[in-house]
Chains A and B, each alone.
Chain A
Amino acid sequence: MANPLKLYLTCVRNTLEAALCLQNFPCQEVERHNKPEVELKTSPELLLNPVLICRNEAEKCLIETSINSLRISLKVKQADELENILAKKFLRFLSMRAEAFQVLRRKPVQGYDISFLITNYHCEEMQKQKLIDFIVQFMEDIDKEISELKMSVSTRGRLVASEFLKQFL
């Protein structure tokens, strides 16, 4: 299933390249304030159309842009109960460390599992291409990590079970 994944990621990458053109824009309503417009959504002329990229019903990516900020929300695939709790655990772990990640949002947007908020300041500090590389790499890594965690649980389960049953032989 690598091909659909690659297409999905390429699509996200292209959209980000087009959307990540941010510039500094002080707040129009309040003096001397500078807020990420995508979060407030007060002035429609500062917002672009949000783009929703769906891989299937379970996985999608919402990209909302404004003049000085960009919000990316991801929904991760969760096939069964175990993947559900592993994904929730892992993504909560990441969100709690949002300070270290800088571009991560502490709470995901309603209906999604994890969200990024990139502002013009981040674009000034970091290179645009590398930032996009990071986001795409992140998406790949989450999938890999959750499947590896699931595999480690089942391997451990098998080992535990066979050791226990060997005791009876």
Chain B
Amino acid sequence: MILLQSHSRFLLQTLLNRVQNLEKAIELDHHWVEFDDVRFHVQVSMKNPHILQLSLSLPTPPLETVFVGGLPFGAIEAIKAAYGVTVQILDPPRDGFNLTLKLNLSKLPQDEEHRHTLLVKIASVREVVLGAPLRVILKHLASRTVAPDMNQFVALVHRPNESFFLVPQAEKVTVIFPMRFKDSIDTILATSFLQEFMESRRTAGLSNAPPCLWSQSPPLELKGATDNALSANAGFVTFVIFPRHVEGRKLDRTVWNLSTFHAYVNYHVKCSEGFMHSRMRRRVESLIQALNCAKPDQEKTKKTPHTRSFKRLSLKDSRTNSSS
């Protein structure tokens, strides 16, 4: 799986399970974290087995981002637009969470296909809520206007205490991600990945994709932002989004891809490290085998009292030796 999908698989599975077993009332109370920044909580109590409560906790916004009523701007409208009357927003949300939704499982559409689509949309609640401000700006781009009372650049949160920047204009939107990683190895691997973004954009098939740039220093569009926002140990990635990237169905995909860009790069950096580990392990095995060849022949047809038996060394043996 190279790309991250917009619906949370665990949530979708839980919802589908519940809907299929509506008669068997089971207590549900799950907490989980997605991509290291968003926390989810789902609860079904025995008293009302048809009511499912879904709570969402968003990453803490840094100083330059503004949350209205605990949610990014445009989030409540987006939720109402996406889910209609099937989902109710509970106010105030559950303690420790930014948003709580109440879903009545018995009131879902009877049609199998519609129900499935709605459940997938509910499982993509992260995309709807966190991506709401981005969606507003990009929708304006599709109609080639700029949203009213928009600053020169807008800061949106995507990770705890970190935000990315948008410079909305009538004919294009420039999206700038300052990339930060905690581990130094992650930083170096991510830097080489991000430089590849620039390289692969130049290939012929991708000339319609948004132009992307990587630079170590903050780009000019961010002049005037706070110094804290401008420190990034893996450089700055700039995408220029044109109206053709947000027409019709592409809007959802663009919103999802941009809001989980950092999670995407992080995921692939970790996969890369895992792959390197298994490669190194294989290489170690082959080197040890080469070393074992240096020992004299161990196959003896007759075991006489004068033959010494040699123990073939392998990693498993050495582990047991060191632990005993």
Contacts and interface: CB of A to CB of B under 8 A. Distances in A.
Nearest to A137: B290
Nearest to A131: B294
Interface string A129-169: 01101100110010001001100111011111111111111
A153 to B, nearest CB: 6
Contacts, number: 142
B264 interface: yes
26 contacts: A81-B188, A85-B185, A85-B189, A94-B284, A94-B287, A100-B284, A100-B288, A102-B291, A103-B291, A126-B295, A130-B293, A133-B294, A134-B287, A137-B287, A141-B287, A145-B283, A148-B279, A156-B275, A157-B193, A157-B196, A160-B2, A160-B264, A161-B197, A162-B203, A165-B206, A168-B209
A103 B2 CA distance: 41
Interface of B: 2-3, 184-185, 188-189, 191-193, 195-197, 199-201, 203, 206, 208-210, 212, 241, 245, 250, 253-254, 257, 261, 264-265, 268, 271-272, 275-277, 279-280, 283-284, 287-288, 290-291, 293-296, 310, 313-315, 317-318, 321-322
A160 B196 contact: yes
A166 B322 CA distance: 50
A125 B298 CA distance: 12
Contacts of B189: 82, 85, 153
B308 to A, nearest CB: 10
- Interface pairs A-B: 4 shortest CB-CB: A157-B196, A130-B294, A165-B209, A100-B318
Contacts of B264: 160, 164
Contact of A169 (B208, B212, B241, B322): B208
B256 to A, nearest CB: 9
Contacts of B250: 168
Majority SS of interface residues in chain A? helix
B270 to A, nearest CB: 12
Contacts of B196: 154, 157-158, 160-161
A14 interface: no
A87 to B, nearest CB: 12
A101 B294 CA distance: 12
Nearest to B254: A168
A26 B188 CA distance: 49
A100 B314 contact: yes
B200 A161 contact: yes
Contact of A99 (B188, B200, B257, B318): B318
A134 B291 CA distance: 6
Nearest to A130: B294
A94 B314 CA distance: 14
